[in-house]
Amino acid sequence: MYPILFEDNHLLAVNKPSGAIVQGDQTGDTPITDLVKTFIKKRDQKPGNVYLGLPHRLDRPTSGVLLLSKTSKALTRLNKMFQSKSDIQKTYWVVVDKKPAVLEQRLEHYMVRNTKQNKSYAYDNSRPDSKKAALTYRYLGSSQKFHLLEVDLHTGRHHQIRAQLAAIGLHIKGDLKYGASRSNRDGGIHLHARKLSFLHPVTKEATTIIAPTPDDAVWNYFSSQY
C-alpha cells in the first residue's frame, strides 16, 4: 500500500509512485483503486464492498498526490470542483533540461489530442478540435544538470504540462515522448503532483495536501533545497 497523505470519513489521498496505474487498463496491472479498496477492507474489517470514487487522474509516469473519495456525496462534489476548477488548485513540481529564458510566465496554448499516439500537441493558434490550455510556471532553482519548475494548472488537458513545456523547448527529465534525450531507469518521468489545495467538499474547510517527492538523487537534491 502506498503512503496515505490525508484521510477522513469522506476523502483519502495517497502518494502515487511513478509507474503505478490509477485505473485498470490493457496491461492487466493492479490499479491503485483496487489496492486501496483491499487495504481499507482489511484495515477496517469491512464485510461488504468498499466504496471508492476517483475524481481525478494522474498519468502512469507521473507521481504525487492522488485524491480519492470514500463517499458518493464527496465524489459528486469533487467531480464538479475538478471540472469547473473552482475551489481547487493543482500544483506540480517539474524537472526540466533547460533553465527557462523567462523565469515566471503564464502559458496559453490550443491543445490537440492524438489518441492513436496517446499524445497531445500544443499550438499557439486555434485549430480544429483544439481545446484551450493554460498554466503558470515559476523557476525555483537549478542543480548542475537540471532545473526545477513549479507549475500551477489552470485547465486540465491530456498531457498538458508535458506538451506545453515541450512547446517552449523545455523537456521533462525522462519524458522521451515529449522530447527528452534519455529515459529514466524506472520508465517514469520527473513530473510530480506536489500539492492539492481545495475546499473540502463536505466540511468546507480549507485543505492542503502535500506529497513528498520520490526517492532518487535528483528529487532528493531539489526537495532538500526547496
Tens-place pLDDT, residues 68-90: 999 999 999 999 888 887 789 99
* Rounded (to 5) percent helix, strand, coil in the chain: 20, 35, 45
Query: Can you give the pTM of this predicted structure?
Result: 0.94
pLDDT at residue 85 in the model: 72
Q: How confident is the model at residue 9 (pLDDT cuts 50, 70, 90)?
A: very high
Tens-place pLDDT, residues 41-71: 999 998 888 999 999 889 999 999 999 999 9
Residue 220 has pLDDT above 90, yes or no: yes
Q: How confident is the prediction for the chain on average, in pLDDT?
A: 93
Domains identified in the chain and CATH numbers: 4-225 (3.30.2350.10)
Which residues, 6 or more positions from 65, have their beta carbon under 8 angstroms from its beta carbon?
5, 13, 15, 16, 193, 194, 195, 196, 209, 210, 211
Q: How confident is the model at residue 142 (pLDDT cuts 50, 70, 90)?
A: very high
